[in-house]
């Protein structure tokens, strides 16, 4: 397997497909680089070099006890970028990885970066506070941590419909009801804004179970309680934010709407009825891939 050894000995696995200007894909929680395969193929076929690492604690990278935090992930990314000799990078970051990228830019700057895409990303702050009432309550996050400790295999089974299913922001015909993502008719769930199959749920579960339990639990605090406000102010590159208004995991109003106001010149594109897993769900993944290619060419 292709990997780069970090300063502490951790091995970071990565995919490297195609030749051309690099597009580096950063996966969300609890996924790994496999989540980006369709976009990796698309950019490689379009004349770019697609790179996608597994974050430490995830997928095929080392499951370390220490270093499951935003600063370490950002430094791992910087070391990977340097080891691969990447310049003029477009970063594409989903969910928790939006925080990883924000921290990377805050700590390492944009000297190697030309543009960024944040997809259903957590910055500036996902946690519900007095100044961020649209966020996720701490009690709900504590429930996630407890469920991971109790029976993580079943938790990921139960979580997949929330990850891929559209919620209250869904359009009338997309099948999202805000509770369970709609009926699983004919092996699919959801509607015209994004139907997902049992196979996609199984794919999600397989990635989630490759994530180490230590990382799984640590990630909950890192993605939800970290305030990236000042990190976002360090962005000085063209930035596209994409978020579904049916996202049942990362609330649009608490995150991307506020991030777009903090990043100079950022563009926010809202997909009606799209879920948190919009880059994987048929009906939205095609639009996302085309929007990404348009942004790369623009």
pLDDT digits 0-9 by tens, 94-115: 999 999 999 999 999 999 999 9
pLDDT of residue 155: 98
Say how many domains are in the chain.
1
For 20, half-sphere exposure in the C-beta direction (CA atoms, 13 angstrom radius) is 16
Question: How does pLDDT run across 228-279, given as a tens digit for each residue?
Answer: 999 999 999 999 999 999 999 999 999 999 999 999 999 999 999 999 999 9
Instruction: With a cut of 60, say whether residue 294 has pLDDT above it.
Output: yes
**In the predicted structure, residue 176 carries a pLDDT above the cut 80:** no
The greatest distance separating any two alpha carbons of the chain, rounded to the nearest whole angstrom, comes to 51
For residue 169, name the pLDDT band (cuts at 50, 70, 90): very low
Does position 132 have pLDDT exceeding 50, yes or no?
yes
Instruction: Please give the positions annotated as active site.
Output: 95, 247, 276
Worst-scoring range by mean pLDDT, 12-26, 76-90, 156-170, 194-208? 156-170
CB 164 within 8 A of CB 181: yes
Q: Is the pLDDT of residue 191 over 50?
A: no
Residue 37 has pLDDT above 60, yes or no: yes
How high is the mean pLDDT of the chain? 92
Query: Cβ of 202: how many Cβ atoms within 10 Å?
Result: 12
Mean pLDDT over 54-67 rounds to: 98
Average pLDDT over residues 75-102: 98
DSSP structural state of residue 238? -
pTM for the full predicted model: 0.92
Q: List beta partners, residue 189.
A: 196
pLDDT of residue 168: 64
**pLDDT for the residue numbered 186:** 28
Q: What CATH number corresponds to the domain at position 164?
A: 3.40.50.1820
End-to-end CA distance of the chain: 34
pLDDT of 167 strictly over 60: yes
pLDDT at position 180, please? 31
Range of the domain at 162: 3-297
Q: CA–CA separation, 220 vs 85, rounded Å? A: 32
Whether the pLDDT of residue 23 is over 90: the answer is yes
Question: Of 227, 222, 219, which is closest to residue 132 (Cα–Cα)?
Answer: 227
């Amino acid at each position: 397997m292709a990997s780069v050894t970090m300063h502490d000995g951790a091995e970071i696995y990565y995919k490297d497909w195609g030749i051309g200007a690099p597009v580096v894909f950063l996966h969300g929680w609890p996924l790994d680089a496999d989540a980006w395969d369709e976009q990796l193929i698309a950019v490689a076929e379009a004349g770019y070099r697609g790179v996608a690492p597994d974050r430490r604690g995830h997928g095929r990278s080392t499951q370390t006890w220490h270093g499951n935090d935003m600063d370490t992930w950002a430094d791992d990314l910087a070391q990977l970028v340097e080891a691969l000799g990447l310049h003029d990078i477009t970063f594409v970051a989903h969910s928790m990885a939006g925080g990883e990228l924000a921290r990377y830019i805050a700590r390492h700057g944009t000297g190697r970066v030309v543009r960024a895409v944040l997809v259903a990303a957590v910055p500036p702050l996902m946690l519900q506070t007095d100044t961020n009432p649209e966020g996720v309550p701490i009690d709900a996050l504590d429930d996630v941590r407890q469920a991971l400790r109790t029976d993580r295999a079943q938790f990921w089974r139960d979580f997949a419909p929330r990850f891929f299913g559209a919620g209250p922001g869904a359009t009338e015909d997309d099948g999202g009801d805000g509770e369970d993502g709609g009926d699983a008719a004919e092996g699919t769930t959801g509607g015209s804004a994004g139907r997902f199959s049992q196979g996609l749920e199984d794919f999600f579960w397989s990635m989630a179970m490759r994530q180490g339990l230590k990382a799984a639990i640590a990630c909950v605090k890192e993605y939800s309680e970290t305030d990236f406000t000042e990190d976002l102010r360090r962005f000085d590159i063209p930035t596209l934010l994409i978020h579904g208004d049916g996202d049942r995991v990362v609330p649009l109003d608490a995150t991307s709407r506020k991030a777009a106001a903090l990043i100079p010149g950022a563009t926010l594109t809202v997909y009606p009825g799209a879920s948190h897993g919009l880059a994987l769900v048929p009906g939205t993944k095609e639009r996302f891939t085309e929007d990404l290619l348009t942004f790369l060419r623009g």
